[in-house]
Structure 1
Amino acid sequence: MKQHIKQYFQFSRRERNGIFVLLFVLIALIIVSFTVPLWVGTDREEAKQQFEQNALELKQLANEQATTQQSLLKPFNPNTYSLDSLMACGIPKKLAAQIINYRQKVGPFATKADFAKLYNLTDSLYKVYLPFLVLPDAETSKSEKPASRGLVEINTADSLQLLAVKGIGPYFAHKILQYRNQLGGYYSLSQLGEAFTIPVASLAEKQQRMDEIKAQLTVNISRIKKININTATQKQLSAHPYISYKQSSAIPKYIARYGKIKSLDDLTVLGIITTRDAVLLKHYVSF
């Protein structure tokens, strides 16, 4: 009987090795069953903490970028500034082009809220540009008189009124008045570039400074003093910035030979003045 039982429980070397392997696998499975949940829980917690840390860093980076962008911005008027002037104020080229396109197709920006209507301008970006917008917070009443806007009318202003304009000092005020007297008055604010030159390094900065001055001025063309081209002397004609000495001599000769001038076309036909001259002079001559 003992021998029978002994034979029953005897194992070969190969069988014993198999039993040891099974025992090892079983023990390993037991250990893993207890430790894996702990590992998974730890990994999830670490992943959550890492995600929150990354989100915080991204938020800080966005705030730093917004702060950096704000530090580069300068006050700007989206209704009067050119593309180069807007870019000189820190506005990206793509956004500057959108501003120009908006006012050409839709019209001027009436209030700061209108600026938020630009395509693809997010609320966060709008808040970045908001402090630098040279626009009213709310639309003014239609019954409000133009004078209440604080604009200086360039054809009637004296030197003190011009000096009240930001960007105009005594020298610029003198040159504006001097050129106004020579012309008889301004028909466009673009003529200011003929009256004086802004001594700055770059063309963009010069345009920006000029745009800032123009934004504070207005022009009333009814104040222009015109020259009667049929009665003016050669000296009076040559004193005008848009009439050369040669032209001032030819005009009286034309009148003496052909009679009174009825329109500037009479002079362009004979080549006394050019078409461009006629475009400029139409604001300053009468017949």
Structure 2
Amino acid sequence: MFIRKSEKKGIITLGILTMALFVLPQTIHKSECPIFLIPYSRLSDTTQPVPLKHLVIELNSADSTTLIGVRGIGPYYAKKILRYREQLGGFHSTRQLGEIRFQYLNIDSLLPCFSVNPALIRKKELDTMSFKSVLHHPYLEYEDVQLIFNAKRKFGKINYSILESQKVLPPFKLKKIKPYFK
């Protein structure tokens, strides 16, 4: 009887598998560790990923990869958070995340995962800023910026204390922008 080369390989492979599955396990004692099996070992603490659920993330210093580690925040939402932080100059409260429009995410349930260090806010000098750059701040509208620059023309220079003392803006607006301007 003639056996093809491919059939011969199949017969040999079948024999090896049969031996590995049925014969070898009976010959190896339970106390011995078989050569072809990897024994169970614990990973060291440095190789195990740390779940970010239990960590509190500081919003003013977090990068996108850290934010993505929070359940529910993907690359799109992480980019939105970082862009808003850049527009503001930094977060002074975790509640400011609620000002960002998240379509499919309830950010209120994630607020305990975040913290804020107000010392990391980049305060800007109103006197050196252009109309356009002040207009990019999320808390100021076009009319507010016009009032600020009219006061700058009137007083020669402008800063937060002048805005407050001369009541250039309404008190609620002044309270909102206080952490962001010198």
Q: TM-score range by the shorter chain?
A: 0.5 to 0.7
- CA distance in 2 between counterparts of 1:193 and 1:267 reads 27
Corresponding residue for 1:156? 61
Name which of 84, 89, 96 aligns with 1:191.
96
Instruction: Say yes or no: does 1:240 pair with 2:145.
Output: no
Aligned partner of residue 225 in structure 1, secondary structure: coil
State the Cα distance separating 1:283 from its structure 2 match. Answer: 0.6
State the Cα distance separating 1:194 from its structure 2 match. Answer: 1.1
Amino acid at match of 2:154: R
- CA distance in 2 between counterparts of 1:253 and 1:211 reads 39
State the Cα distance separating 1:161 from its structure 2 match. Answer: 0.3
Tell me how many residue pairs correspond in the alignment. Answer: 129
Structure 2: which 5+ runs fail to align? Answer: 1-53
- CA distance in 1 between counterparts of 2:109 and 2:71 reads 8
Corresponding residue for 1:272? 168
Structure 1: which 5+ runs fail to align? Answer: 1-148, 200-205
Does the aligned pair in 2 maintain the 1:162–1:168 contact within 8 Å? yes
Corresponding residue for 1:170? 75
**Aligned runs of 1:224-235 on 2, under 5 Å?**
224-235=121-132
- CA distance in 2 between counterparts of 1:281 and 1:157 reads 22
Amino acid at match of 2:84: Y
Corresponding residue for 1:214? 111
Does the aligned pair in 1 maintain the 2:93–2:116 contact within 8 Å? yes
**Aligned runs of 1:11-26 on 2, under 5 Å?**
none
- CA distance in 1 between counterparts of 2:98 and 2:125 reads 26
- CA distance in 2 between counterparts of 1:220 and 1:198 reads 27
Does the aligned pair in 1 maintain the 2:88–2:137 contact within 8 Å? yes
Amino acid at match of 1:275: P
RMSD: 2.0
Amino acid at match of 1:154: L
- CA distance in 1 between counterparts of 2:147 and 2:101 reads 30
Higher helix share: 1
Task: Note closer, same or farther for the CA distance 1:191–1:239 as it changes in structure 2 (3 Å cut).
Answer: same
**Aligned runs of 1:12-161 on 2, under 5 Å?**
150-161=55-66
Corresponding residue for 2:148? 251
Paired-residue identity, %:
35
State the Cα distance separating 1:150 from its structure 2 match. Answer: 1.7
Instruction: Say yes or no: does 1:281 pair with 2:153.
Output: no
Kindly provide the CA deviation profile for residues 87-135 of structure 1, in whole angstroms up to 9, marking residues without a partner as x: xxxxxxxxxxxxxxxxxxxxxxxxxxxxxxxxxxxxxxxxxxxxxxxxx
- CA distance in 2 between counterparts of 1:240 and 1:255 reads 18
Q: Which has the larger radius of gyration?
A: 1
State the Cα distance separating 1:250 from its structure 2 match. Answer: 2.6
